[in-house]
Amino acid sequence: MSSSISSERVTTPRLTLNVVSVPEATGEPVVFVHGNVSSSTFWHSTMTAIAGRVRPLAVDLRGFGDSDPEPVDASRGVRDYSDDVLSFLDTIGPAHLVGWSLGGAVVLQALRDRPEAVRSLTLVNPCSPYGFGGTRGPEGTLNHPDGTGSGGGAANPDFVAAIKARDLTADSPVSPRSVLRAAYVAPGTDLGEEEDAFVESMLSTRIGEDHYPGDMAATDAWPGIAPGKRGVLNTLAPTNFRIDDLHTIDPKPPILWIRGAQDVIVSDTSLFDLAHLGAIGAVPGWDGTPAQPMIAQTRAALDLYGAYREVVIEGAGHGPQIDRPAEFREALLAHLLGR
């Protein structure tokens, strides 16, 4: 942890969260929410860089980092996470929310449920409002009624095993360090001395059916897996998570959508979407199920919402805050400060 970052345990009626902050920072509160298989560590450099203008805070979601490892009821979509974040806002008041990947879905749900608590929203390579996997078209139509192709069974079991074994090496393409280099950032990005901290952050992920990746169900349709009701990946199954009425909320705080042009996780051709992997021959038996157009789906939902701006950072991957930090911070601060 950076010497300019402090950590404290904050108890809410729901659970005790680990919250990191920058001592002496003042201004409007900005709450950062991390993505899957990560923690607040991925926000540290952003927080210290912008602390002169705002008051940055970041939470570890349940089951990640140093927050309580409470089980995740995926039948509620991401609401176990978003309600945890809202319970923290109850202690500090309305705030700007910044969500990355899974965290993007979490802050979208928080905005949908409590718009009056959100001063502005920033989505960083967010999960589609129609979940991750199992849908087609910009409107997010289910490929199968049971959400086939999404949920806990979509995880690579070797990656899950590597996290559980605390693999610190880059010896395997599915070790956390290798996945960080290949999927979290654009190819060739040198993360320098921060890389070890990011790998440790990934290894803080709790493993199991109540956490990552979650449980699963079998199905006769390709690729043979359907979502369960517990754990992280099932929170994003389109049968559990769907926000198609964001445009109906009032008030409507401004939304900034930042995405890396080279993102291979949240993409219309995602290397983590079983349908796209089937189309390119990486998953056998593909039946023609179309890939999920994740970018098109987010754009369609935000077009209905209206009050948003999209910023595409060239040369950035899934984590533009760490592989193109200057461009990321410029866009973020302009949004937070109302420019």
SS3 320: helix
Q: What is the dihedral of CA 176, 182, 184, 190, to 10 degrees?
A: 100
Token pair belonging to 284: 């056998």
Produce one character per residue of 191-202: b if its CB has 16 or more CB atoms within 10 Å, e if not.
Answer: beebbebbbebb
Please report the pLDDT score of residue 3 as a whole number: 55
CA pseudo-torsion sign 19, 22, 23, 27: negative
Instruction: Flag whether pLDDT at 320 surpasses 60.
Output: yes
Summarize the confidence of residues 216-229 as an average pLDDT: 97
Distance (Å, whole) CA 218 – CA 201: 31
Summarize the confidence of residues 103-121 as an average pLDDT: 98
Please report the pLDDT score of residue 109 as a whole number: 98
Please report the pLDDT score of residue 1 as a whole number: 44
Q: Note whether 44 and 32 are within 8 A (CB).
A: no
User: 223 preceded by cis ω (within 30°)?
Assistant: yes
Taking alpha carbons only, the member of 313, 253, 273 closest to residue 125 is 313
CA geometry: angle at 182 spanning 179 and 187, to 5°? Answer: 160
Summarize the confidence of residues 287-315 as an average pLDDT: 98
Summarize the confidence of residues 18-28 as an average pLDDT: 96
Instruction: Flag whether pLDDT at 2 surpasses 80.
Output: no
Taking alpha carbons only, the member of 47, 326, 2, 182 closest to residue 174 is 182
pLDDT, tens digit (0-9, with 9 covering 90-100), for 78-92: 999 999 999 999 999
Distance (Å, whole) CA 51 – CA 28: 10
Taking alpha carbons only, the member of 71, 76, 77, 41 closest to residue 59 is 41
pLDDT, tens digit (0-9, with 9 covering 90-100), for 124-156: 999 999 999 999 999 999 999 999 999 999 999
Rounded to 5 degrees, φ, ψ at 152 are -60, -30
Instruction: Flag whether pLDDT at 206 surpasses 50.
Output: yes
Please report the pLDDT score of residue 339 as a whole number: 76
Distance (Å, whole) CA 236 – CA 106: 10
Average pLDDT taken over every residue of the chain: 97
Token pair belonging to 333: 């601060």
Distance (Å, whole) CA 78 – CA 231: 10
